[in-house]
Chains A and B, each alone.
Chain A
Amino acid sequence: MVNESIHDKIIKVAHNMKKFGMKSALALIAATSLLIAGCGNGNNGEASPSPAASGSASPSAPTGSPSKLVVSSFGGAYEETQKELVKKFEQDNNATVEFVTLYSADALARIRAEKGNPSIDVVQFSGGQESVAGQEDLILKPDAGKLTNGADLYESASDPNGYAPSYAFDALGIIYNEEQIATPPTSWQDLWNPAYKGSVGLVDISNSFGLQFIVAAAKMKGGDESNIQPGLDAIKELLPNAAAIVKSTPEVGNLFAQEEATIAAYDSGYAFTFRQQGQPIKFASPSEGAIGTFISAQVVKGTKNEELATKFVDFLLNADVQKTFAEKNGYAPTNKKVELSEDLQAVMPYGEEAVNKLVRLNADLVNANKAAWTEEWNKLISQ
């Protein structure tokens, strides 16, 4: 019976189709596409509860269903540790935190594309992207009163433009294979040492650390963020000594693992991670001053969970959280109250004096010039 009626309907539709004019067919297509577009929008909004969601929410605790926070993180060991740490936050706030793996640049591009209706509530930046995000009105300035840990931070943790302060420091210095290089490097200049010909790892400008190194080289030769040419010239001299130019952290790790590179300008936090993975990698802070990386979490403008998102930012500023983060991943705390073992103090910028020594690049200038530098750099290294 059922089959028969469906069959009848199909015949009817087919019959009607025959009578349909071209115009009505087009109208049908247009209507269908509108319908599909409409559905798409509906699903993005919070208004339409899907049957699956309401079904799973029913057996939850009397406090109501947990609110969900989407946070971007950097993947690997970094994200693993954050996932561990966040369990306490989830309990305290009756929330679930979902991590999305995005490097800083990808995260910035994502929230830019989703402006006004973001799918991420809190975004994490390690390359000064908060400067661009602030200019483009993509992130929110947190209410100082709501950041309960704000008073405990080093002064240099605060953001020059008033956005959320950094929750971790790390430093661009020199990482090297201690089995191959007996005397620890002391200056950026050591990278140009002819003894390391063929085994210098270089990092592309698309990576924050690669970009920082170009500025460091410029500063070494008398330039700065507004005069990059001396840095590019210096790197041109370094190119023949390079084992390879790579883009990402796993590739840097691979260069050292395969002993193609024995020395490179890279980040203290990742040097720590590589060492934990069993590589004989050490970090040296150059006498010219290591370039600071100021890692922060920012509340994305347009989030529907502003309060919870701010709480999450504050959570990362907490002393206990930062202590664990330093112990597990090697990122230096920005909270003065954190006390670390001497072993750990030795491998990261720890304490007021060390923190103040970190060179902070002018992020606004760097971002304004980045496109021009990238073009110059690409022409320099292009094959």
Chain B
Amino acid sequence: MSKRIPPYWILLAPGLLVFILVFIVPVGRLALLSFQENTTNGESGRAFVLDNYAKFFGDPYYLEILGRTLVISIIVSLICLVMGYCLAYGASRAREGRKLILLIMVALPLLTSATVRNFGWIIILGRKGLLNQMLLGIGIIQEPLSLLYTPTGVVIALVHVLLPYMVLILYSVLEGQDRNLESAAANLGASKSKVFALVTLPLSLPGIIAGTLLVFSITLSFFVTPSLIGGPKVQLMATEIYSQTINLLNWPYASALSVILLITVLIVTSLYNRALSRSQGGRSYV
């Protein structure tokens, strides 16, 4: 006798089907390709060699690219978290009529493509760009700052691109909180900062985790901003994968880089989740 399908399988099926077709299958092929030898005549080389991985882990230059990518992703996530939390907190505490306007303003940048926004940053961040001219004009700096084509510039532009995601996630959590809990804490004599630190902040932890993980994983694989704002000097995983795929046609190596990036995301995500859930008495948020 066959088992009955649990009802959740029926709900999962459509999404799962799409997921298998457009994610699992291509990534599986990518993983297979990453074990293939590269050839210059376009024919497929020997399968199941570890050359590509040996090349990556054997050369500090490539490890440095991965390290740089991780550091930039962490910095961007943290800046987005601080700025996004302030914004989301402010918006959720605003008067009823203004909330919508504030949220629309936050989400507005998402309506323009990231490429267009990044071209704007090229004009703002250049040595003779708006920002430098303004700072020079006020007299804060004597020499123009190098921002365009540097890691700092990449971080600035990435924060701008990814902030809306963070705000929208945090806002939904902060807005959904039971305010009576804050009132109760205040009533029992907690100062405003204590209320925030002991009630509001812990209650918003799921939003913080979801938001930082989302921003972190998008940054890790983001291509447009590092390519345009970072230029050829700021080499990150995504730009290196592009270069190997398009310019050098070394698809097996590009696949290996992609697999390494994917595994890195999975490791960091699970470590982060475990660390935070342990500190919260074993609750897992993701």
Interface residues of chain A, those whose CB is within 8 Å of chain B, are 17-18, 20-25, 29, 32-33, 36, 105-106, 108-109, 112, 115, 132, 135-138, 204-206, 243-247, 251, 254, 258-260, 368, 370-371, 374-375, 378-379, 381-383
Contacts and interface: CB of A to CB of B under 8 A. Distances in A.
Interface of B: 2-5, 9-10, 13, 17, 20-21, 40-42, 61, 64, 122-123, 126-129, 148-151, 227, 231-235, 243, 245-250
Contact of A105 (B233, B235, B247): B247
A206 B13 CA distance: 44
A21 B231 contact: no
Contact of A374 (B64, B122, B231, B247): B247
A328 B5 CA distance: 68
B8 to A, nearest CB: 13
Given A135-B40, A371-B248, A29 B150 contact: no
A262 to B, nearest CB: 12
Given A260-B127, A371-B250, A379-B61, A247 B5 contact: no
B258 to A, nearest CB: 15
Contact of A383 (B4, B17, B234): B234
B246 to A, nearest CB: 5
Given A33-B20, A244-B231, 19 more contacts: A18-B4, A21-B3, A25-B9, A29-B17, A32-B17, A106-B246, A109-B246, A135-B40, A136-B41, A206-B232, A245-B232, A258-B126, A260-B126, A260-B127, A378-B235, A381-B233, A382-B233, A382-B235, A383-B233
A378 B240 CA distance: 10
B52 to A, nearest CB: 13
A106 B245 CA distance: 9
A254 B249 contact: no
A373 to B, nearest CB: 10
A136 B42 contact: yes
Contacts of B232: 204-206, 245-247, 378, 381
A23 B4 CA distance: 10
Contacts of B245: 109
Q: Which of B3, B20, B248 has the most CB of A within 10 A?
A: B248
Contacts of B227: 247
A22 B243 CA distance: 45
A226 to B, nearest CB: 16
A103 to B, nearest CB: 9
A206 B247 contact: yes
A77 to B, nearest CB: 18
B233 A245 contact: yes
A243 B40 contact: no
A135 B9 contact: no
Q: Which of B227, B231, B250 has the most CB of A within 10 A?
A: B231
Nearest to B62: A375
A243 B248 contact: no
A383 B2 CA distance: 61
Contact of B149 (A115, A135, A206, A244): A244
A244 B148 contact: yes
Nearest to A40: B21
Nearest to A211: B247
Given A20-B5, A33-B20, A112 B246 contact: no
A378 B249 CA distance: 16
B149 A258 contact: no
Contact of A21 (B2, B64, B151): B2
Contacts of A23: 2
9 contacts: A109-B246, A135-B40, A205-B232, A245-B149, A245-B233, A251-B231, A258-B127, A258-B128, A378-B235
Nearest to A106: B246
Nearest to B64: A382
A368 B39 CA distance: 11
Given A29-B17, A258-B128, A115 B42 contact: yes
